Amino acid sequence: MLAPLSLLAALPIVSVWAAPMCSLVPSKSAGALAASASATAAVGGAATGSSSGSSDVGDDVVATTWYAGWHGSDFPPESISWSKYTAVTYAFAVTTPDVNTVSLEASDEELLPKFVDLAHQNNVKAMLTIGGWTGSQYFSSAVATDANRTAFVNTVLGLVSKYNLDGLDFDWEYPNKQGMGCNLISDDDSQNFLSFLQALRAEPAAQNLTLSAAVGITPFNGPDGTPMSDVSDFAKVLDYVAIMNYDVWGSWSNAVGPNAPLNDTCASGADQQGSAVSAVKAWTDAGFPANQLVLGVASYGHSFSVANSAALSGNTLNAYPAFDASKQPLGDKWDAVAPAGVDQCGAPTAGGPSGIFDFFGLIDGGFLTANGTVADGIDYRFDECSQTPYVYNPQTQVMVSYDDAKSFAAKGQFINDAGLLGFAMWEAGGDSNDILLDAIEEAIGFTEVDC
């Protein structure tokens, strides 16, 4: 079967999506992706000296998402739209003080085998990501010496064989750049990370694995603490990097800005905080091939408390309004009011909600209708530069900067125009009825085959 995804999506669920052995390929119209296919398929081979360093599915394009194990009771693996992905990555295994151990304790370790089984039944790669915002504390020591790198290679390959994984994603936030606040940090982090990845890729058991990294909007930091000017060696051992182009603006910012801007070079100087356009330029300027870049996209947004006077000029929503940080709104059902106390680093925290609204949560919360359009009584603005939407409830004074079908379609178009490898969505369970997923896949021109 060969048909545009948009047509498939209109067919009854049972006859299409439940069929086994589907996979995604770029349609003939997706020129950039198709052109990148042969170059990318050679990655594993180039690193290993083998001529066929890839397994059968999805190496020419990447349509992937992270699955949060801790949301498993609410969004079980059966709920993943498997046939629309080439790979799905389980989150998170976290680094520990012991290089011989990573921990899945906070992410429902029991669920991982079932996740892998379902992926394989659907001919989708099952990956595991290591690290994350709160899980990167001990990356630096795990890769610090030859002996530790050897041990850490064994640790991660142990996970691969224990869980029958097809790939590993390294989400180190960040090499030689502080993230959570108490991560171990060294000037040599990026070089050591590269040496670790090289050692991993050289292992026979890793030759056919998909290896990726989730990365920031600027290249890895070098020894001087600024982004490296040449990261091309990473491209020889990784299949791809996924650029986490989200949380660019949030509760820590000084105004309401886009969570996941497509562009910022068109914004005023102060509002240029990063974007897909800037990040792709930064990574490719540093020698990372565009056709090994995957754009990270967000199925969630950030909320802010904004007074009517700051939010509105007449009936029009203002850009970059000020917000009241002392009144962080509660997000959706996956958000919670954290108690005051100490954080993982032992630092005192005031507690409170994150304010995150997943896309489904904007529907639950009355900002959007079930089909993702703006609900009655809600103000909406689509920002032309960042190509992202805002909603505002004037009664509750809550503004949310998020992504919708239109912004996902714009990002899909950009992925094609820039010749990127595909997209990676955080997180699988954030969407509602695949409104976002279908929009980006349709814009890219993915076609489902062999259904």
Ligand X SMILES: *[C@@H]1O[C@H](CO)[C@@H](O)[C@H](O)[C@H]1NC(C)=O
Binding region for ligand X (CB under 6 A): 52, 97-99, 141, 144-145, 148, 204-205, 207-208, 263, 265-266, 277, 369, 371, 373, 414
Tell me how far, at minimum, the Cβ of 205 lies from ligand X, in Å: 6
Are 63 and 449 within 8 A, CB to CB?
no
> Who's near 413: CB < 8 A, 6+ residues apart?
443, 444
Secondary structure string (H, E, C) spanning 385-438? CCCEEEEEECCCCEEEECCCHHHHHHHHHHHHHCCCCEEEEECHHHCCCCHHHH
What's the rounded Cα separation, in Å, for the pair 296 and 40? 18
Nearer to ligand X, 229 or 369 (CB): 369
What's the rounded Cα separation, in Å, for the pair 227 and 231? 9
Nearer to ligand X, 385 or 400 (CB): 385
Are 143 and 196 within 8 A, CB to CB?
yes
Tell me how far, at minimum, the Cβ of 140 lies from ligand X, in Å: 7
Nearer to ligand X, 98 or 324 (CB): 98
At residue 442, what are phi and psi to the nearest 5 degrees?
Answer: -65, -40
Nearer to ligand X, 269 or 314 (CB): 269
Cross-strand pairs, 316: 313
How do strand 167-171 and strand 102-103 relate by DSSP bridges?
Answer: unpaired
Nearer to ligand X, 245 or 397 (CB): 245
Sign of the alpha-carbon dihedral angle for 343, 345, 402, 326 = positive
Nearer to ligand X, 19 or 184 (CB): 184
Nearer to ligand X, 65 or 148 (CB): 148
Nearer to ligand X, 71 or 177 (CB): 177
- CA distances for 429 relative to 6, 69, 374, angstroms: 21, 10, 21
Tell me how far, at minimum, the Cβ of 95 lies from ligand X, in Å: 10
Residue type, 121: Q
Are 237 and 210 within 8 A, CB to CB?
no
Q: Which residue has the tokens 């954290």?
A: 338
Tell me how far, at minimum, the Cβ of 12 lies from ligand X, in Å: 18
How close are the terminal C-alpha atoms of the chain, in Å? Answer: 6
What's the rounded Cα separation, in Å, for the pair 218 and 178? 14
Tell me how far, at minimum, the Cβ of 45 lies from ligand X, in Å: 10
Tell me how far, at minimum, the Cβ of 290 lies from ligand X, in Å: 13
Nearer to ligand X, 51 or 315 (CB): 51
CA angle 7, 373, 381 (to 5 degrees): 125
Tell me how far, at minimum, the Cβ of 96 lies from ligand X, in Å: 9
Tell me how far, at minimum, the Cβ of 370 lies from ligand X, in Å: 6
DSSP at 123: T
- On the 0-12 / 13-18 / 19+ scale of CB atoms within 10 A, 224 is exposed
Tell me how far, at minimum, the Cβ of 371 lies from ligand X, in Å: 4
Tell me how far, at minimum, the Cβ of 442 lies from ligand X, in Å: 14
Nearer to ligand X, 144 or 165 (CB): 144
Tell me how far, at minimum, the Cβ of 48 lies from ligand X, in Å: 9
What's the rounded Cα separation, in Å, for the pair 241 and 197? 13
Nearer to ligand X, 190 or 305 (CB): 190
